[in-house]
Chains A and B, each alone.
Chain A
């Protein structure tokens, strides 16, 4: 046992010396390898954590949202629907939601305007999200200008800025009283944007949605589970897009690794020839090449994964921000709760370490089986 361990250690010592002899080439390979692992790991960590965040946060979303459809687009829903829907067995509460969007030409940002059910700001007052406060550079007590539907600017005094901690939900919100919101945009009385339903028994949600769709053929009920599924699919394909973009980087790395692994340099062939001529067996040479590959790939894997973890969970994935922000002026500041499972790490390991190590051994096996004299002369 000890002899076997000692043999491996001796060969590893030799492999490390061999790698250090070609320091420039191997360090650049290690840096590139680490970068690729870092990028793939960061995307996997980020999308997985964001999906989990959405799933946990949006559990508090309405059980069912009912929209009215006109010619395939959603329209204002008559408040008269409330009574009829509330009468459906299983529906605990129906709450009309009044909300819309506001594009601010000065800052170029889009905001979500809403009249909340409870804790309404008084007339002429507004509660704003932290993102709005940041973008418009206003704080509590300041005046917030909003251009009404008629084009006339209206000033609202900021009553409070919503907690910074809730940015992921409320960053772009401007909460107004119902009267102010209706007046601003000439919102017709007796209509709401949509209806939020509370259903006592989660198992009944689908049945109730079917009943609503039957009773109101122009309506579109959206279940809480569909909201969650939307986010699941969005981050899937967002992750997918990122992976496609990274595919190019990975491919270039594969070509580089393949070139290194398949085409042994004349120096390496000569080294193998010398080792065989001084008594090394083919198995020893293969073990040497295995350790060379394992040292590079294992060190790159560990460094890449640690850097990705720090980037995503300590620096809030700031590298991805320009991509996710797109043309939006307002972007929330938030931190993700770390959520990495062993399965993710195992997949990353198998995708990065195993192929490189195997690709290093094959050409060495071919070189190690030829006559040492021929290897040294080649």
Chain B
């Protein structure tokens, strides 16, 4: 009488192989079929060129975070990670909900 149960080592190898193949497919898919992300990159590049922009619109909370490459040389946040920084782009705290005053 033969047992139909799969050996545990076989199951582990199948799991590892499956995960490795999935990871490889994800990496290949990202490299050769970037899809919407590539369209967005191209659209942003065209916009930067057309309007002669200098920075990415990533952090809009303050002047020196919106345009870090154009900011004053002595702005906080640009020197090193432990430089005193009023804005929490450089830390991980969340703002109080009632904050509405002018920055």
Contacts and interface: CB of A to CB of B under 8 A. Distances in A.
Interface of A: 9-10, 12-13, 16-17, 20, 53-54, 56-62, 65, 67, 72-74, 95, 97, 101, 103, 105, 108-112, 114, 116-119, 129, 131, 162-163, 165-173, 175, 194, 196, 220, 222, 226-227, 230-231, 234, 237-238, 240-241, 244-245, 295, 298-299, 302-303, 305-306, 309-310, 313, 322-332, 334-340
A218 to B, nearest CB: 14
Interface of B: 7-9, 11-12, 15-16, 19-20, 22-23, 26-27, 29-31, 34, 36-63, 65-70, 72-74, 80-81, 87-92, 94-95, 99-100, 102-103
Contact of A222 (B50, B69, B102): B69
29 contacts: A9-B7, A16-B12, A20-B8, A58-B55, A60-B46, A60-B48, A61-B48, A61-B49, A62-B54, A105-B102, A112-B57, A167-B57, A169-B43, A171-B57, A173-B57, A196-B52, A222-B69, A237-B81, A241-B90, A302-B20, A306-B22, A306-B26, A309-B23, A326-B89, A328-B89, A334-B44, A335-B36, A338-B34, A340-B30
A173 to B, nearest CB: 8
B37 A335 contact: yes
B52 A110 contact: no
Given A302-B16, A328-B59, A168 B40 contact: yes
B47 A295 contact: no
Contacts, number: 224
Nearest to A331: B60
Nearest to B77: A234
Given A58-B55, A220-B73, 8 more contacts: A13-B8, A16-B12, A60-B49, A114-B51, A129-B57, A131-B57, A170-B57, A226-B69
B9 A12 contact: yes
Contacts of A327: 61, 87-89, 95, 99
Nearest to B36: A335
Contacts of B69: 222, 226-227, 230-231
Contacts of A57: 41, 44-45, 48, 56
Contacts of A131: 57, 60
A305 B81 contact: no
B8 A58 contact: no
A338 B27 CA distance: 8
A242 to B, nearest CB: 8
Given A12-B8, A13-B9, A306-B22, A165 B70 contact: no
Contact of B95 (A13, A59, A326): A326
Contacts of A234: 68
Contacts of B36: 165, 335
Given A241-B81, A328-B61, A9 B47 contact: no
B74 to A, nearest CB: 7
A45 to B, nearest CB: 10
A318 to B, nearest CB: 15
A9 to B, nearest CB: 5
Given A337-B38, A337-B41, A162 B30 contact: no
A73 B16 contact: no
A302 B19 contact: yes
Given A62-B54, A101-B66, A241-B81, A313 B40 contact: no
A331 B57 CA distance: 8
Residue among A17, A53, A95, A226 with the highest chain B CB neighbour number at 10 A: A53
B72 A72 contact: yes
B57 to A, nearest CB: 4
B45 A59 contact: yes
Contact of B30 (A10, A56, A303, A313): A313
Given A331-B60, A339-B30, A194 B70 contact: yes
Nearest to A110: B60
Contact of B15 (A117, A166, A173, A299): A299
Contacts of A114: 51
Q: Which 7 A-B pairs have the closest CB atoms?
A: A338-B30, A60-B49, A165-B43, A302-B19, A328-B61, A335-B37, A16-B8
A237 B83 CA distance: 12
Nearest to A342: B27
A169 B72 contact: no
A244 B81 CA distance: 10
A61 B57 contact: no
A358 to B, nearest CB: 20
